[in-house]
Amino acid sequence: MNAQPLLTTEEVAVLLGVKPTTVYAYVSRGLLTSQRNADGKNSLFAKTDVDTFLANRKRTTTPGIQTGITLIKDGSLYFRGRDATMLAQTASYEAVAALLWTGDLRDTPFKAGPELRKLAVAVTAPLPETARLTDRLRVTVAAAAAADPLRFDIAPAAVLATGRQLLATMVQALPSRSGVFPVEETSFAKELWHRLTRETPAKPGLYALDAALILLADHDIAASTLAARVAASTRAHPYAVVSAGLAALDGPLHGAASALAYPLLAEAVRGRGPMAALADRHRSGTPIPGFGHPLYPDGDPRARTLFGLIADGPVRETALELADTVRERSGQAPNIDLALAALTLHHGMPADAGEAIFAVARTAGWLAHALEEYGDRPSRFRPTGAYAGLPPL
């Protein structure tokens, strides 16, 4: 019989989205049970106890949100009732965006107006070389909003037109790494490809990138989606909705998580192998990024699908070996962040490429949720804080 997987305090903190000190507080209040490791100095937690605590923890920050966009059930992900992993293998991102927005899987191209594209390139050009791709995306969205005098038109047709043009502008304003600017009528994935890598685009790579965009297009009421819906409930315009989503996405526990998995995987590929890379992380007490997801206790279906589309090679082989090792020792399966890191590393993309892919992909989902929110009662998000400060004088 296999021993029950044990997690360190740092690993539990990552899973719960809190600081290690908060984990200790949960223990002191009897909400979590810990045990000492062999040296008697550090705490270990049974994974089953942590999973139970996570499942029972109440989420009381929002009113009941009824949505017809995304369903996560029995370890599967559905967009408008369609299996997202199947869509990733059979449809384009443009078509899935339309599905999220309208319920109709229609492949409508994204086009950026030349003047808006020129403005976005001009306002992002002065950014330093150290600026991340998502920094450029945020500036582009703000500039596009300022340039649109009709931005407060939130009629469904107007939001769709804004969404398609904004997505095209966000990508086309990014610098081309290959020196190639695709001709008009090219696919959205191909437009993005040239902004992420110098590698010549080939069908398998473009197919995998398009699939990644689809798999990341929405994920129910994630943190960034909640931020987007709160903005939309105040009748903020679509650009502001996307800006709110981008702000919440900036945290390392959300959209930037693949950037944490990227150096781990790169070290395993280029250095001494997966075991050494994992040993270094455990020695430093750093949680292992790219593993586990509270909504998928048996494994992230998005990761399985994306790994299946990445071409064979050292990166994919090492990533799968890393996944097998972690699964055997801790019971945690790889999530989409590890698969995204493998995709970007395999194709010579920078470490922040996964975050950019995530941000661009999720823009379609944020706008879909905005459309739902625009049709609901305005300003309905008003949770009440439980005051724990000093009493009034």
pLDDT, one tens digit per residue, over 315-368 is 999 999 999 999 998 889 999 999 999 999 999 999 999 999 999 999 999 999
pLDDT band (50, 70, 90) for residue 185: low
Q: Is 112 inside a domain boundary?
A: yes
User: What average pLDDT does this structure show over 157-169?
Assistant: 98
The three-point CA angle 179-147-99 to 5° equals: 75
Rounded to an integer, what distance in angstroms lies between the CA atom of residue 383 and that of residue 152? 26
Q: What is the mean pLDDT of the chain?
A: 91
Q: Is 20 inside a domain boundary?
A: yes
Burial of 304 (0-12, 13-18, 19+ CB in 10 A): middle
261: tokens are 């998995």
Rounded to an integer, what distance in angstroms lies between the CA atom of residue 7 and that of residue 255? 23
Other C-beta atoms closer than 10 Å to the C-beta of 131 total 14
What pLDDT sits at residue 256?
82
**Amino acid in the structure at residue 101:** W
**Which domain, by its residues, includes 246?**
70-255+352-374
CA-closest candidate to residue 208, choices 353, 55, 111: 353
Q: What is the pLDDT of residues 9-60, one digit of tens each?
A: 888 888 887 888 888 888 877 788 888 876 767 789 888 888 888 776 654 4
What pLDDT sits at residue 1?
42
| b/e code 209-220 from CB counts within 10 Å (16+ = b) | bbbbbbbbbbbb
Rounded to an integer, what distance in angstroms lies between the CA atom of residue 24 and that of residue 32? 9
Q: Give the helix ranges, DSSP H, for 103-217.
A: 114-124, 133-146, 156-172, 188-196, 203-215
Indicate if 320 and 215 belong to the same structural domain. Answer: no
CB 368 within 8 A of CB 358: no
Say yes or no to pLDDT of 3 above 70. no
What pLDDT sits at residue 377?
86
Indicate if 338 and 241 belong to the same structural domain. Answer: no
Other C-beta atoms closer than 10 Å to the C-beta of 133 total 21
The number of distinct structural domains making up the chain is: 3
Q: Is 280 inside a domain boundary?
A: yes
Rounded to an integer, what distance in angstroms lies between the CA atom of residue 216 and that of residue 200? 24
Indicate if 129 and 155 belong to the same structural domain. Answer: yes
Indicate if 150 and 75 belong to the same structural domain. Answer: yes
